[in-house]
Structure 1
């Protein structure tokens, strides 16, 4: 039985928790944040009015909203207030007047609502109480028309709003007509509240809300179950894919140790297996299925989020006590979800496009095993870097759009982030240089893991390479770590192909033609040997006599080999040449010298000895 790996559970859990917290933040965000400084040239920084206030010269106008569902009722006006930080006692800003009216309307709603628990669970007791209908009336108070709500004829009515001269100036109507329009709007809303809070309606809507919640729960359970099943299948495919990658890495490690282990047949076998079309087809099929399952899991996460959003909005529209938040749920949270859905969709599409492009470039049946591995590793690193860059860009765009949704100036935050980033960059200049140079090395393909290179006079086998540093293992087994910023010149000894530069000095008494013929014979025998054919792709070149000196004739031979095979081929060729020279009595070059002898009587003589 295959159990779901915890690593596959953590990302979606973090994703859901993050979205839940952000969803709550968006719903509870009631006030606009000002994230920038006033640019008032007159120096009056207090001449700022709320966004919901509209200024018409000497008048400021805003909407009065019914607190039950946050719907607009009517507009009220007040004289313009320039400095809201220093209010006069007789100058009330229009937004504060609207808040006072809304508070009285909420008081009215609370009185009509009564004991909701009794209406739900004990409707017979609630129905025994005398039914009274609130009436919205108009009257005159202090010689000004007012709108009042009458609960009972024996009780004093509650004054809701007064028609002021500013309202008359704004509506351009007589005060009584304005009061009647307000009365009509309020009466319609009061009747709606009484209907919604009746025992029968509230019990019916509670059942609908419970049904919606149950539907959301069942749908979520089904989606989570499908998500879990896809996760199990994804784990199986991932294990199978990792087994293929592990086998490929094992083959690579075996090829790298071939130099010391003298494994003759591995290179051809590995090349054949690596470039096997069936093997590439299997790998491509596994990668495609992995991407498909991951895409479906991404869709399921968004379906779960959408299910809970629709359920939350449906419950807030059905229960009267939650209606005041229904408009908030339908505005900012929906925009928030739309932003991040499009951002993650763009990210998924870009990652899929990058992966498919990389896979198309990877497969080349005409490349050797080492070159195929080299290209695969390089493209994999490039793909990882591109995906990371796309993730950074996408999330940056999402954060900027989210800040704009909250009415927060993204420019101020980005400017602050730029200052912080500049300060950090000064402290991490060497790290930035390392990463930039590492990217250039990767793109230009100067070297890769498995190459033998010489950097700054240090040679060794490339054991580790990343965007930060390069690690070499020299012939003595020492691990050399070199920052990428310190790499200026690289000599790659194993790129595409290698070469044995064989030189030997022979004595002058040897026949040069015979020596060249022996070297050619030994080279051709080795070239045509089945044991060495895969390591020597081209016929060896006998360049001839390269120089003449007092020690003898220097003869040079070039043998082109597969990468990493020059040392193995060179050792074998030297051994065969030594045996051939011994068989044909070829004398190796040796130094020549002259000895001078002087007699005691002063008669000088000298003898020339040639060794």
Structure 2
């Protein structure tokens, strides 16, 4: 019974490079789009990958409602209120109407001039305590001005238009009073944050935040290193336990007897307990790593947000990476938790099955394939969720979809064949991880098997990867039992009965020894003279063995037969040469 392959979990821990490259590429694509994100990040939107020259869709960040278009006005990265303008269907054509996004930038520029004049230098230094926002009616339109005792004259901020009032569904005067309160509060706060005392406090806050981030990173790093040492210890104990169980495995087709089964089951329980602890430690280290990453992202965001001048930059830099980081974290978390669930299910399944290498290998192979499929589905759904949350516009979806369809059109045919053939291999149980197989000119031990590929370790130590679609005929040399087809040639003049008796005695003696008794299953299927030729007499015997033991048994048998033949003066076969004279052989003319 071959139990050892179930403990060789390398296939269960594989890292699919292709899937990781796809995920990294999409993440880099999102980050590289930051120049376009600059215009729409506040709304959590990404611009389209292609910008048609003639489009009736509003720009990113602009909302169209009937005949009106609206957008936000910002100050120091904060949303103040929405302004509106008549809708412009085609912005590529000249028009007397000012687009709403252009109007919003003009208002933001006016606010920035007021805030900048409250800085540390300049002729006009505004006082946050005396600053006022006034409303005056000009041409029947409410106009908002900013006034301060240090200003020579009031500065215009914006005009409340009919479109603004229509969009807000209130009168222009009422809307002007509402905006007046908002602007007074936000402008005074912006000026206060730019005073020398506030600047010193902001610098102090940033220093504290960075020191706290460094200390938390140090503490979590120490814990991460501690669990790393614990992980190495568990790996060593797992390897030692696997080696012990491997030395105790039995090569028999029947289930274990009661006493041996209980002892082996206890060993299996202990080993799987180690494996569960190992997975928990690995999961904790994974959580610590992500905790450190989140701490630094939050610390940097908090530091940038402390200064009003960098608040908008903090949002641009942090929002998309945080979204991607959180999504990546939850995808990894779901993947880890699902691995725990699959392992728990496999453990229960293994307890219900007979403790044979056939059952354990089959369970390991199926679990290996399902883990790989599960990981692909989780990360695929996660990536599309991120794109949906970021509200990628339909043109971008179409562009990415067209590129994806073009790629799939080239690879889908062979990929579909790989998946179907891989499913049939698992369903029909053609071979498993740990089996020794031959596919065409390739032979070796199966190290990894999933729905797409099969990886074989050759006798030379090379790892050979085969797409499952190329596997049309398989020779499995380790399923249930194996056979050593042993041939040995003795000299032509040898007493054949004596040679047969020596071979039979040697084989039977070897099969009865405790070291070989469990691996040699039968020696009486075929035995006798297989061929007589000019080189000698070929004796052939079939030895039924435990899986993967045929080569070792054949090697040991050759060594023993060499010793036995020397003891009984039996020579191996050698070519003969016959000298002819006048067409007849001369007496004693046969030479070795």
Settle same-fold status: TM greater than 0.5: yes
Q: CA deviation at 1:538?
A: 9.0
Instruction: Confirm or deny that 1:135 pairs with 2:123.
Output: no
Q: 2:64: which partner in 1?
A: 55
* Other structure's SS at 1:55 match: strand
Instruction: Confirm or deny that 1:80 pairs with 2:64.
Output: no
Q: CA deviation at 1:60?
A: 2.7
Q: Quick one: distance in 1 between partners of 2:467 and 2:315?
A: 57
Residues 51-450 of structure 1 mapped to structure 2, 5 A cutoff = 51-65=60-74, 67-73=75-81, 75-88=82-95, 90-114=96-120, 133-141=130-138, 144-152=141-149, 155-167=152-164, 169-170=166-167, 175-245=172-242, 276-324=264-312, 335-362=323-350, 367=355, 371-372=356-357, 375-408=359-392, 409-410=396-397, 412-425=399-412, 429=414, 433=417, 436-437=420-421, 440-447=424-431
Q: Is the 8 A contact 1:462 1:472 kept in 2?
A: yes
Q: CA deviation at 1:293?
A: 0.9
Q: Which has the higher contact order (CA 8 A, sep 6+)?
A: 2
More displaced 10-residue stretch of structure 1: 93-102 or 485-494:
485-494
Gaps in structure 2 of 5+ consecutive residues: 1-12, 487-504, 527-540, 561-592
Alpha-carbon distance change, 139 to 27 in structure 1, aligned in 2, over 3 angstroms:
same
Q: CA deviation at 1:207?
A: 2.3
* Other structure's SS at 2:480 match: coil
Alpha-carbon distance change, 246 to 103 in structure 1, aligned in 2, over 3 angstroms:
farther
Q: Is the 8 A contact 1:47 1:83 kept in 2?
A: yes
Residues 294-334 of structure 1 show CA distances to partners (whole Å, capped at 9, x for unaligned) of 11011112222332344344435543333445666886555
Q: CA deviation at 1:390?
A: 2.3
Q: Is the 8 A contact 2:454 2:465 kept in 1?
A: no
Q: CA deviation at 1:439?
A: 5.2
* Other structure's SS at 1:147 match: strand
Q: CA deviation at 1:227?
A: 0.8
Q: Quick one: distance in 1 between partners of 2:150 and 2:484?
A: 114
Q: 2:576: which partner in 1?
A: none
* Other structure's SS at 2:118 match: helix
Give the superposed CA RMSD.
Answer: 5.4
Q: CA deviation at 1:346?
A: 0.8
Q: Is the 8 A contact 1:163 1:175 kept in 2?
A: yes
Alpha-carbon distance change, 444 to 211 in structure 1, aligned in 2, over 3 angstroms:
same
Q: Is the 8 A contact 1:53 1:95 kept in 2?
A: yes
Residues 388-415 of structure 1 show CA distances to partners (whole Å, capped at 9, x for unaligned) of 3222222212221222233324454244
Q: Quick one: distance in 2 between partners of 1:402 and 1:450?
A: 39
Q: Is the 8 A contact 1:144 1:163 kept in 2?
A: yes
What TM-score, normalized to structure 1? Answer: 0.63
What TM-score, normalized to structure 2? Answer: 0.65
**Higher alpha-carbon Rg:** 1
Gaps in structure 1 of 5+ consecutive residues: 1-6, 117-125, 257-267, 503-521, 543-556, 576-611
Q: Quick one: distance in 2 between partners of 1:278 and 1:171?
A: 74
